[in-house]
Structures are given as structure tokens and as C-alpha cells.
Structure 1
Amino acid sequence: MFKMISAPKGLLAAALSVSLLLAAPAPAVLGAAGQPSVSSAVLDQTTNEYALFLQEKFGVQLKDSPTRGDFIQAVARMLVFPPDGGKAEVAFSDLKPSSPSYTAAATLFQQGILTSSSVAADQPLTSLQAVFIAVKAADLKELAYSYPKEKVAQSLSAIALRIEDFTSLTAAQEIAAAKDAGLIDPAFYAELKPNKPASKAFAEQLLGRVLEAKGQYKHFIAATSDPAIYAKLTDAYRTSDIIAAPELEAVVNGALEQGLVTGYNLKDSRYDPNFVDSLTITYGHSDLKHAIQLIGLLRSEGIEANVQFEPKTSAFVHLREWGEPTPSSDYQYKKLANGNYIASAREYDIAFEFKSAADKERFQPIVLKYAKKNSDDVSGLIAGSWWQPLYYSLTELKEYDVITNNKITGSGSYYAQSFSLNKDSEAIVAGFKKLDPEVKISTYTFWVDRPFHNYLAGDDFK
């Protein structure tokens, strides 16, 4: 997958291819015990984002009045724990192994997140019980237990609670630390009362904050509306380098040399945005100015999105008739026996998570109008526009075409991927296996813009 640049020296180009940023605080209003709270609009947006994330990523949909078992199952499903190492079954006083909540409860007990032999899985979840579970699931218990009694009392007084409201000092410490560490949104302080049932919104907010504390929520540099987005994007680009992954390159370079693929990408899974797929489009390019102007373009069209920068190296064959290549910080070359070169180019993907499905659908018309070349002398486009812009979605979109990603995963965080027409995928996978029978390959289909699909098909490079 690549875009050729017909410059004198030839070259290339587009070879194949933090945590949730809350909305800007609204003016404060008074919540429980006279505490500052966020506006209901901001709160609704935040909890809705958490709810959608939980549903799409983990299949978690809480009931309006969740039970303890519902919450325990949700926590166990969304967090990844190591194998129990053959630990014996947990003997709960009120929960049998046949219960739908047993496996989740046993896992959390083995991890020290549940500490009682009584689960009460069918009982309504109270807000305080939810926080007791959340503070340990978020790995904050050591912080909580560092609180001296006077600090606990001071923290609890801000939410109209006292140490005497709890059966133990450790319970009071957990609530105080959860509140101070930001696990609980101030808008929900009114729910922090003994025996008060937890609302669905409170439970979802708490689960979202646990994921954030564990680094398992969204990852992005900023939102398009953030005044610092351009500086953050520039810093991300300038600190990116050409990726070297010898374990993977041994296979994909062999595939390039044999003509099995026309290009591939190297990427690092540590930059995965972990966005909600139904709201996300990934856009590939090589020019920083193009990325800056693209974000400015989206802002001018009133589109708000979270932005994650993903470093990418794109590789393709540089033919010897193009002339002797000159290495640089953006291009490196490996000479082949036939006189050609494998060129490795520094590029990037930008993942955009839009605020709505409607905004996601608006992205393509904007790109086609302002960021796609249709002739050599075209004007009125943003800088660095390509004949075949590359952008794609993991969920279906109208007027996009389906292609396949042939992905090789190494032993670390790096992976290689080569995009292809669906009909070519089987042969590519077989070729990878022939080059290395032990290689780990996965394939999946996704939706790509039509100009790029046409380029792959050789029908119309525009």
C-alpha cells in the first residue's frame, strides 16, 4: 500500500499501510454539602462516553439499578488479571460455583479486590460498596491506608461523612482516598451515603475512572478544540523515529523482495488509542504540515474529535532506475541483490475519535473536498494533499470499500501490517508462512476510502 511521488529522484510514499480528556469544566455549581460540581451537560457527556466504552469494549451494560453481582462481573470482565496460579476454589458463604457471579467474585477475591467471604451478589449495589471495590481495583489501596485518622476525617467532612459512619477505619480510608484521587466525580458526592443504592450512572462513572487509573481507557494527545493541540502534535511528530523491528522485517522484507506485497507498515501497539471503534477513523500521512492543517480544517467545519498520534514506518521498493537514494532522518534504505532498495519512510497515523457518528460520516466529504488531489495544477487544498488519501474505519461506512489487513505480531509491542484486496489475502498469508512457519499472523477486514481501494485494485489510481 503506497502512494508514488513522481519527483525527479522518484520516491515513494505512503506505503501501506490519555485516558479520557474530559470536556472543559463548566462554571461550578454547588453539589452535595456545598461542594463544587460540574454541569449536568458535562456529567451526562462523560458518563455517556464511559457507558459506550464499556459496552463496545467489554459488552458491559449495567441495569438501571445494578446489583453487587452486576458490578463485580463488570470489574472482572474489564480488567485483565494474570492466571490464578492454581489457587484453590474460593469458598463464599453465600455464593455457589454455579452462580453467574462466582467466577468473577472468585477472581476479585484472589486479587484482593473483594475481601469478604460474603458476596451478596443479588443485593442492590450501594454507592459505598461500589467505591470499596473500585479503590482496590484501581490499585489505590496503599494510598488509602497511608491516610492518618485526622486526614481521613478532614477529607470525609467535605462530603458530609464521618469516620463513625463506617464499621472500620480502613473503610473510611478507602472512601477518603477514592474521593481525593478523583475516582468519584463531585457531581456524585450526594450518592455517598450509607446504604444508598448506587445509580447506573454512578457505577459506570466509577468503572470508567478505574480504567483510567489502570491505564486501560483511551489514550490521546489532545482534542481538536484544545488550543495546545498543534504544539502537542508537533512534539509527537518530532520525537518519532523510523521503527526498527528486525524480527518482523525479516519476514516482510522477504515478502517485499519477492513481490508478494507492494508495501507494509511497522507500528507500535503502545500508541494504540483504544478508542470506540464506531466513532473512530484512522488517517495516514507523512507530512506534519498536512496534519496540522487537517486539524485546523476539522475545527473550521465545527468537528470535535480526540486525536491520537501513532508513529508509523512505511516500507516499499525503491527501484534502481530512480537513482541512488539519499538516506535522511525520514528515509532509510537497504540495498537488495538486484540493485533495488527497500526504503523505510517515517510516517504517522492519526486516530480521530469523533463526538458522534454523524461527525464521523462528515469526515470523508471534507477530505475529498479539501485534502485530495484530482489534478496536477489543483488549488484550494490543504498542504501535502495526496492523490490517494488513506483513511479507514473498523466499522462499516457508506461509500467506503472493504479490504483486508494482513498483520504480523512479534514478541514485543511492534507489529507489521500489509493492506490488500480481500481476494489476495490468502496468498499473502501463505507467503508469510512460507518465509517463516512460526510467524504469528492475523487478518481482518475493514472499510477504506475508495481512492485507496481503487489504487490497490489498479483500476483508477485517483
Structure 2
Amino acid sequence: MNKGRTIKQAAAGAVLLTALAVTAGTQVYAAPASTSSLAVQATAVQTSAPQPTSVKDAAAYITKRYGITLSGTITKQQFEKALETLLASSSIAVNSDGANHSFFPKGSTSNKLLAWEAISASVKAADLKELAHTYSDEKISVAWDAAGLTYKAGEGIAKEAAQEVAVAFDTGFLSAKDLSGIKLEANVSAELAYQLLNKVAEFHGEQQNFLGTISDDDIFGKLVQAWNESQLIRTEELQKTVDEGLKQNLITGYNLKDTQFDPHFDPARTITYGHSDIVHAVQLVGLLRSEGIAAKVQLEPKTSAFVYLKEWGEPVQTDDYQVVPIDNGNHIAYAKEYDLSLEFATVEEKEKFQPLVLKYAKRNQEDMTGLLKSSWWQPLYYSLTKLDEYPVITNNVLKKGRYLAQTFTLNEDSAKVVSGLKKINPSASVETYQFWVDQPFYNYLKGDYK
């Protein structure tokens, strides 16, 4: 920990602002004193806002997330390949016929793709086929009528396909508004294909994952609820490696995260902001809202681990802060924190974020006023795409299942950290990538508490 972070001693109510001799180039993570059993996993409730509401957003998401690029009139081959690509990334196996998923009826020789065929294939890819095939003729008619269409048994498309189209209407794949100007027998456009692919992703839990938007009146309550329902993250296999790294002074801190809370935002429009006080997040979102900035909001639970020095006194443990003694008399502390991910409406609005933080959420002296609650000396926020005036650092990441452990370093120190972690655990796979971080945090990695 350094002078830029505070530890709240629950018993004494005192705030310690303690300078730490930082291992050169390696991140220290400090947090408020709080935790309980480390066996607890992150369980924050996600009240996701609706999937991207525009065709443009759906297309951007599918392209960025899966690398699927479509244009013009779409063929069966193109759509089938897109579905296969999407499902290869899904954690849920699609329940369909045959090794090749049989998205289209057997014996189909034409490569022309009609709207009803694309809808039918999407329903199968979303694991809704069995539900669809429970639909009676009457139930099909009701669903079609609600979408402004007429179904007559024995006429037009086969009953199984009609059932699948009906389920698409009932489960929100398509609405009457979506079908406006589109005939079931019409060729499939890229816009419709993206819309259907987006819904397939959603039904496999691969959709964008966020609480809401800055403009939502209930966003503040959702933020606090998500924080209250999150707990310390534990992943024993990962922690064995990085905790040993702490003991050996290879690193001075790391974060644990649960990738199920990844928002899957567009990196070009996203900034991730780390902190430990939920009131700070509420005030930051309020600040952005008061400035007329639009963004999607996601709270990602995070556990911060760092060395708690014995000279800091006896640590007080709570549900959100736990310490474990190590041989030299120090402790490893595990503290509940969060990453606030913000996907801005435009890159230009993303660029407005830093000036607001530096003015209202960056402490430059002890008795400074006019700041958001619990503002740090070195606020931590970063972008996965280039931003002017943001230095570049390296993230060193270990993954196991849905969990990851990460430690930030200066670029020149990454190789040493990776080598050291591999020496501790030869079977560990350590991924590295560079990203753009705010200047105060970069200074922090260099050993400057201001």
C-alpha cells in the first residue's frame, strides 16, 4: 500500500495513510479493511439492461466480440458459419441435431437464405427448438397474429419452421416493429442477420453485461445493490501462485476477478475505473450524468490482495476484509473492491473522462476540498485502446476457469514477474498485454505516492 490508498481500521475508525517501500515497477493494491471467509465467491446480482437496442449496436457488438463481419445480402453458408463461430465461443453447448448443428433442413441445396430460414436456424442455435416444437397450430397462430402475420396450417412454410418462428416472436428475437417491411420469404440482410446473431448470443449468456446507463434514474440503486451483494473472491489454485509471489516480494499486490461479470464492452469506447468505496462510484456516475455524458455502466466485483505490514498494527477483520499471517510476521490482506466499467456513447465522450477525474477525484493534498468522497492520490483507470496523455503499462494475467489473477507492472518489469511466477508454478500460463493507464497511477508504479 502507499500513501495514495487508505486502510480503514474498523475498530479504531482511524485512517492510515502509510508510505510503503514499493517493489520496483510492481503494483501495490490497497483497500479498506473488510472481509470474511475467503471461501466466499463474488455473487453480485446483475440486473442487465436490455441487449443493444439498435441494429448498429448489435452489429458493432457481434463484430467486436466474435470477429463476424457481414454486409449486403446474406447466404446460408455465411449465416451458418457465423452461427458456428458464435457458438464456438459460448460456454453452453447448443442442443441441435448432428455434429454440424443442422441449422437448415436436410436436403436443402440452395444457398439463398430467406428470413424464415434465418429465424428458424437462430432459434435452434439458441437452444429453443424443443420449446418451439410444443407449439400447437392455435398457439402458432396467436404468436404470428401478434407479430402482424397470418399462419394457416398446411400452407406456406413447414409446421416445424412455423413453430420456430412463433417462438422467436414470443421470446423476443423479433417483434412486429422489427418485422416492419420484412417478409418471411424475403432475402436476409446483414442488419437482420446481426440482430438474430445478437439474440443467439444473449440466450447463451454471451451478451453485453451491464447494470444500466448513466441516464437511468435507478442506476445508483443498482450500483449499491451490486456492491452489497458482491463478496470476496477465492480461487485457491490461482492464489497459491500469486500469494507465493507476494511472500517472495516478486509482486506487491494483485487482483482477483470473476470473468462472468465482464461487460463485453467496445474497448474503443470503454474506460475501467478501480476503487474500494461504493459511494465514490455513485458520486462519479452522478458527476458524469451532471456533465451530460452518456455511458453504459457495469460494476465488476474485485478482490485486492497485498502485503499488510506488521508495523501497521493488529488488523481488524470484517466481511469485506480478511488477513492471513505469513512467516515473516506480516500478513496477506484480501479486500473487497470493484472495477467500474463505462462504455461511452462516443470516443469523444470517453476522452472527456480524464479531465473530470483529475479535477474532482484526484487528491493532491491532505486537506483538499471539492473532491468526490474517498478520492485517491492516484486514481486508477485505464483503456485497452490508445488515449493521448495515458502512459502504457503491462497486465500480467493468470487464468483458471472463470477466474483470473492479475498484477500491473511497468513494461520493463513484466518479463521478471512472468519468469518469477513461472518459477513458482511451472504449469502456470501467464498472459501479458499492454494497455493505457492514467499518469498518476503510472507515477505510483514508479514509486511516487503523488
Return 179-188 or 426-435, whichever deviates more: 179-188
2:433 is the alignment partner of 1:451: no
Question: Separation in 2 of the partners of 1:428 and 1:344?
Answer: 21
Give yes or no for contact 2:6–2:30 (8 Å, CA) kept in 1: no
Find the aligned partners of 2:233 and 2:178 in 1 and give their Cα distance. 45
- How much does 1:187 deviate? 2.2
What is the one-letter code of the residue matched to 1:110?
N
Compare 279-288 and 163-172 and name the one that shifted more: 163-172
Determine the structure 2 residue equivalent to 1:441. Answer: 430
The reply on whether 1:56 has 2:64 as its aligned counterpart is yes
Indicate the structure whose relative CO is greater, using CA pairs within 8 Å and at least 6 residues apart: 2
Q: Report the counterpart of residue 29 of structure 2 in structure 1.
A: 15
Does the 8 Å contact 1:19/1:217 carry over to 2?
no
1:330 deviates by 2.6
Deviation, structure 1 residue 16? 7.7
Native 8 Å contact 1:12 1:316 kept in 2: no
CA distance, structure 2, for counterparts of residue 238 and residue 338 of structure 1: 34
Cα contact 2:47–2:222 (8 A) shared by 1: no
CA contact (8 A) 1:256 1:263 kept: yes
Aligned counterpart, 1:5: 6
Residue deviations 1:74-124, cap 9 Å, x none?
Answer: 1111222799xxxxxxxxxxxxxxxxxxxxxx9986324333232533x3x
1:128 maps to what in 2? Answer: 116
Trace 1:350-369 onto structure 2 (pairs within 5 A): 350-369=340-359
Amino acid in structure 1 at the alignment position of 2:428: V
Partner of 1:89: none
Are the counterparts in 1 of residues 256 and 404 from structure 2 also a CA contact under 8 Å? yes
CA–CA distance in 1 between the matches of 2:325 and 2:141? 69
CA distance in 2, matches of 1:16, 1:48: 40
Question: Matched residues in 2 for 1:16 and 1:359: separation?
Answer: 30
For residues 292 and 265 of structure 2, the distance between their equivalents in structure 1, rounded to whole angstroms, comes to 20
Query: With structure 2 as the length reference, what TM-score do the two structures score?
Result: 0.86
Alpha-carbon distance between aligned partners in 2 of 1:291 and 1:428, rounded to the nearest angstrom: 31
Match of 2:82 in 1: 74
Deviation at 1:298, TM superposition (A): 1.0
What one-letter code is carried by the residue in structure 2 that aligns with 1:299? R
1:173 pairs with 2:163 = yes
Per-residue deviation, 1:165: 4.4
Q: Does 1:253 align with 2:209?
A: no
Kindly provide the amino acid, as one letter, of the partner of residue 69 in structure 1.
Answer: Q
Offset, 1:403: 0.7
Change (3 A) 1:215 1:189: same
Tell me which of 135, 141, 153 is aligned to 2:129: 141
Alignment of 1:176-195 (within 5 A): 176-195=166-185
- What's the CA shift string for 1:36-69, capped at 9, x where partnerless? xxxxxxx9x6111111112212222211222222
The number of aligned residues is 417
2:257 to 254, 257, 267: 267
Distance 1:353 1:81 in 2: 22
**Which residue of the partner structure matches residue 412 of structure 2?**
423
Aligned residues: percent identity? 44
Which runs of 5 or more residues in structure 1 are unaligned? 24-42, 84-105
Q: Unaligned regions of 5+ residues in structure 2, if any? A: 8-13, 21-27, 32-45
* 3-state secondary structure, aligned to 1:248: helix
Cα offset for 1:19? 9.1
Contact 1:286/1:347 (CA < 8 Å) preserved in 2? yes
What do the CA deviations read for 1:427-454 (whole angstroms, capped 9, x no partner)?
0011101111111211111111111011
Q: Specify which of 216, 221, 229 is matched with residue 206 of structure 2.
A: 216
CA contact (8 A) 2:5 2:377 kept: no
Please say if 1:153 is aligned against 2:141. Answer: yes
Instruction: Look up the match of 1:162.
Output: 151
Selected match of 2:378 from 388, 406, 431: 388
Residues 117 and 396 of structure 1, relative CA distance in 2, 3 Å threshold = farther
For residues 342-390 of structure 1, the C-alpha deviation after alignment (integer angstroms, 9 at most, x for no partner) is 1111111111111111111111111111111111121111111101000
Q: Is 1:348 matched with 2:338? A: yes
- 2:403 alignment counterpart: 414
Partner of 2:366: 376
Alpha carbons 2:144, 2:151 under 8 Å: kept: yes
* Local SS of the residue matching 2:88: coil
Greater helix proportion: 1
CA deviation digits over 1:319-361, x for unaligned, max 9?
1112121112232111122111111111111111111111111
CA shift, 1:22, in A, is 4.2
